Structure 1
C-alpha cells in the first residue's frame, strides 16, 4: 500500500483501505481454534499449541496463521470468557 503525501506537505484526507472480512473457511478455522483452546485449556492449562491445533483438527502452522503466539490466543480466549461473564452478570442485576 502506498501513501500519497502532497508536495506542499499540506494535510489531506487519504482513504485507508477497509479491513477485509475473513474468508468463510478462515472464520470457521478461527472459531474452531477458539473452541478447542477453551476445551483443552480447561482440562490442562499448560497444553501445547500443537495439542490445541490438533483438537481443532488443524495444524500448528494453521494456528499461527490466526494467532501470533500463545499469549494472543489466551488473550482472545480470556476476552470471550469475560464477555460471557459480563452478560451473565448483567442479566442477574
Structure 2
C-alpha cells in the first residue's frame, strides 16, 4: 500500500463521526468535518473546519454551511498541505 493510501486510511479514523468529526451541511448535502475553534489564517484568528478533499461538495467562498444548526459563511477554502488530502475552510458567523 502506498504512503498516500495509508494516510487516507488513517484520516478516515479522524473523520469518523463517532470519533472527532461532526456532520455539516452544504445545502442538502451532508459531509463530515472537524471543527477548529481557534484557527489562524492570514494572521487572523477564527473558526474553521477541516474536510476530506475527496468529500468536498464544491464549497467556495461566500457559500453558507450549517454545523449543529448554526450557519456560517465561508470566507476561505484551501488545501491543508501539499498532500491535498484535506481542505481547510475558514468560517464567519453568518449572524452578522
TM-score, normalising length: structure 1: 0.25
Relative to total residues, which structure has the larger strand share, 1 or 2?
2
Q: Which has the higher contact order (CA 8 A, sep 6+)?
A: 2
TM-score, normalising length: structure 2: 0.25
Relative to total residues, which structure has the larger helix share, 1 or 2?
1
Larger Rg: 1
